[in-house]
Amino acid sequence: MIRSTAQRTILSNARLVTPTGVLKGQDVLVSEGRIEAVVPTGSETEGELVNLLGRTLFPGFIDTQVNGGGGALFNSEPTLESIRTISRAHARFGTTGLLPTLISDELEVIEAGLTAVSKAIDHGEPGILGIHIEGPFINEARRGVHSAEKIRRLTMEMVEQLKPLAEGATLLTLAPEQVEPGMIAALVAKGFIVSAGHSAASYAEVRRALGEGLRGFTHLFNAMSPFTAREPGMVGAALDHDQAYCGLIADGVHVSDAALRLAFRAKGPGRLMLVTDAMPPLGTDLDHFDLLGETVSVNHGVCRDGRGALAGSSLDMASALRHFLSVSGCGLAEVARMASTTPAQFLGLAGIRGAIAEGQAADFAILDEGLRPVATIIAGATVWPGRDA
């Protein structure tokens, strides 16, 4: 695909999915890992010409919830090597940016995860944008597959001790009703991005948290208090708040197609983000894996523990994109926002990555006419050459 990043590259003969719509007859100029410009085809000839054969060029996908992939689970191996395995597995499906995610675990594991992600960023590991710490400050009543033994209440002493990454995003999912007033504001002031999930919070409790700086909701509809007529719950608060972001697992299993459509109508592509919640089976033929001492079975891509509870997924971002398109009625530009632009905004990276536009990172997912990945480019370098690339 791209043989060298030392010179300007001209990506040509593709449908470009941009913030303003789907463009034809345009070339993308790439130099030094960034998008130099989008120009009419043939108007610039200086550089290595790459013919994309009429394929579709999306901004690279950004996934804010990645537990594992390629056979690796971040909780089990919070190391640089594990991060590399996971990121390479996801790159095969168009993901150019992700947050390795830890579910509820001992504080020592969280510290190890923070250290590993910090090393990955320092070493320039392609696509690592930060870390997602999902728990352990959650509600046991909505724990899902999180271990009850790992769940704990957040104290002000812990708030004072917790430190976000020096470089990269640090996303923390917690249950608002399980923390004292002022704690979310204190975490936000320290640089954490705080999301709500695995929670039985009331609508009023969520609104209080939003007032303290809560930015989003982790896997909307799943493991949270539902919407009802007289108590809108966390789901109602998420859908009712114009500025809050919502992650959504669009695999046809975690959330019904009708719920996907309702969420899209309520939030729109500017606040809805596709996430995978992926586990080790992604990119493998594993039929089971170990999750903190529990055996999780994988059947037709669906991951369940011994109780039958959903345990993450084997979903990839390209599949999530295709499924959402097929059931929502949205267009390519809208789904690209949900897979790329909106998660970049959520992480504070607006204008830096997440769109095909001048000055943005040269991160691309190249998809065929069936919207299946052909190649993935991060910072102008091909990290996964797919079939017929």
- Give the residue numbers annotated as catalytic, written as ranges: 277
10 Cβ contact partners less than 8 Å away, ≥ 6 residues apart: 27, 28, 29, 30, 44, 45, 47, 48, 49, 50
CA–CA gap between residue 338 and residue 355 (Å, rounded): 11
103 forms beta bridges with: 134
101 forms beta bridges with: 132
Q: Residue for token digits 């990119």? A: 283
Burial of 110 from C-beta contacts in 10 A (0-12 / 13-18 / 19+): buried
Omega cis (within 30) before 136? yes
- The sign of the torsion formed by the CA atoms of 154, 160, 165, 168 equals positive
**Do residues 102 and 291 make contact, with C-beta atoms less than 8 angstroms apart?**
no
Helix (H, G, I), strand (E, B) or coil at 132: strand
Helix (H, G, I), strand (E, B) or coil at 22: strand
Tokens representing 8?
A: 């300007």
Give 339's DSSP letter.
I
**Do residues 91 and 374 make contact, with C-beta atoms less than 8 angstroms apart?**
no
Pairing of strands 373-378, 310-313: unpaired
CA–CA gap between residue 44 and residue 204 (Å, rounded): 56
Count Cα atoms within 13 angstroms, Cβ side, for 218: 31
Count Cα atoms within 13 angstroms, Cβ side, for 141: 8
Tokens representing 375?
A: 């190649």
Number of Cβ within 10 Å of residue 78's Cβ equals: 23
